[in-house]
Structure 1
């Protein structure tokens, strides 16, 4: 383990931190919400808003763990503030000499993955971080990294707003001006939080809606209950493990992105195509007869087989139409059972659920 050195501007940095008067204050929902969004986007079990004081790391928000503070010498974030303009990512702490002997790595909570985006004061000093971490090694896709940095700017903006609120309390004569500024900050924060929340419904690799977004859309389509019921298809890439094993995960990712492009082109204007997990995708076709849905799935199967990928690629499809009174999960279960039949019957085919 390497003890984090002090920044060259440590005295000025600590003075900036004290200016915010936030250390040892109660937890606040606004900070908790941003940590929740960060964890959802990055897919980690733990996250925090940290502030690095003279000899400690103090948590304004901490999720997935219990505690108020830790010694600065063992804080991942004390390393992260040394690069104020960059995101610090540790994919496997056991392989990083800065952290391999850290008690948070070798003992509970056994941190292996860490990503921290510095929180900057209005004059550019790194006060702490918005960070996410997990007990398993991991990586951040570029959209996840960009979202984490965007959220860190939101935390910094919250710090500024707290300062503005104190000024309002001390300068009642300027109340209207400060309130207008504060309202502007909250409007901007709300809009950006809405945009960031939308990212929790998008698969970062393919850009398609994810499982959560699909579940909401399917439930909404069923609840509408007008006319022809929706049809649902589960699409699975045949022998995808062999693609990863033989050609590598980068090639596997390329296959997923190419298939997502076909799904988006074929179903984007008439329903929804979502990444369900791994090599599985789900297609929602509202107000589509079972016969028409089967035809569209056959077109999809043929289109995939002719993709110019430089390697053979086929898909198996399980298709089901929603029955009256049937829940979204029940419809998906029948489509999944049909997909299983398609695989057992030789793959590269569409099977319709009864």
Structure 2
């Protein structure tokens, strides 16, 4: 393990940190919310807002494990603040000489993956980081890295607003002026958080809605009255593992994005196509009779087989129409069972659930 060096401007940095009067304060929902969004976007079980004090790393927000602080010499984020303009990503801490002997790597929580975006003061000092981490090696895609940087800026703005609230308490005579600026900050933050929350409903690779967005849309479609029951189809790329194993994950990602393009073109005008996970996609067809839904699925299957990507790609599809009194999860289970029948019957086909 290599202990982190001190920044060249350490005295000024500590003075800036003290100015915010945030150390040893209570947890606040606003910071927890931003950590939750960061974990969701990056797909990690743990995340934190950390501040690097003189001899310790203190957590303003911590999710996925317990604690209030750790020694600074053992803090990943103490390395992150050494390069205030850069996102620090450690794909596997066991392979990084800075962290291979770290107690958090050798013992609980057995950190392997870490990504941290520095939290900058208004005058440019790195005070800590917004970070996510996992007990298995991983990496960040470009959209995830951009989102983590954006969220770190929101944390910094939140700290600025905390400071502004403190100043308001000490300047009641100037209350109206400060209140107007605080409202402006909150409006900016609310808009930014709305945009960031939308990212948690979108698959970063394909740009399609994700499982969370699908669940909300399916529940809404089931609840509508005066319309035909919605149809749901689960689409699975046949032998996708072989594509990754033989041609590499880059080629696999290309197949996923090409299929996503076909789904968008055929279902974005009416209904929804979402990435459900891995090589599985789900199509929601509201107010669609079974026969029409089956024809649409057959057309999709043929369109995929004609994709000009240099690989013989086919899909298997399980189709189910929602039944009265049935939950959305039950409808999806029937579609999934039909999908497995399609695979068992030789793949590259559409099977309707009984």
- TM-score class, shorter-chain normalisation, is over 0.9
Partner of 2:85: 85
CA distance in 1, matches of 2:232, 2:347: 18
The two structures have a TM-score, normalised by structure 2, of 0.99
Equivalent position SS for 1:221: helix
CA distance in 2, matches of 1:169, 1:313: 64
Equivalent position SS for 1:274: strand
Equivalent position SS for 1:318: strand
Partner of 2:15: 15
The two structures have a TM-score, normalised by structure 1, of 0.99
Partner of 1:36: 36
Partner of 1:99: 99
Partner of 1:250: 250
Alignment of 1:56-75 (within 5 A): 56-75=56-75
Alignment of 1:139-178 (within 5 A): 139-178=139-178
Partner of 1:295: 295
Partner of 1:208: 208
Q: CA deviation at 1:212?
A: 1.0
CA distance in 2, matches of 1:296, 1:133: 42
Q: CA deviation at 1:225?
A: 3.1
Alignment of 1:244-283 (within 5 A): 244-283=244-283
Partner of 1:305: 305
Q: CA deviation at 1:198?
A: 1.0
CA distance in 1, matches of 2:152, 2:3: 24
CA deviations on 1:264-283 (whole Å, 9 max, x unpaired) are 11101111000011100000
CA distance in 1, matches of 2:313, 2:29: 48
Equivalent position SS for 1:2: coil
Equivalent position SS for 1:320: strand
CA deviations on 1:170-214 (whole Å, 9 max, x unpaired) are 111110000010011111111111111111111111110111111
Ranges in structure 1 where 5+ consecutive residues have no aligned partner: none
C-alpha RMSD over aligned residues: 0.7
CA deviations on 1:316-348 (whole Å, 9 max, x unpaired) are 000011111111111111111111111010000
Number of residues of Structure 1 aligned to a counterpart in Structure 2: 354
Partner of 1:191: 191
Equivalent position SS for 1:311: coil
1:122 aligns with 2:137: no
Q: CA deviation at 1:226?
A: 2.3
Question: Mean Cα displacement is larger for which, 123-132 or 223-232?
Answer: 223-232
CA deviations on 1:241-295 (whole Å, 9 max, x unpaired) are 1001100111101100110010011101111000011100000000011111111
CA distance in 2, matches of 1:215, 1:167: 44
Flag as ranges the 4+ runs of structure 1 deviating above 3 A: none
CA distance in 2, matches of 1:65, 1:229: 44
Equivalent position SS for 1:203: coil
CA distance in 1, matches of 2:249, 2:20: 46
CA distance in 1, matches of 2:120, 2:350: 54
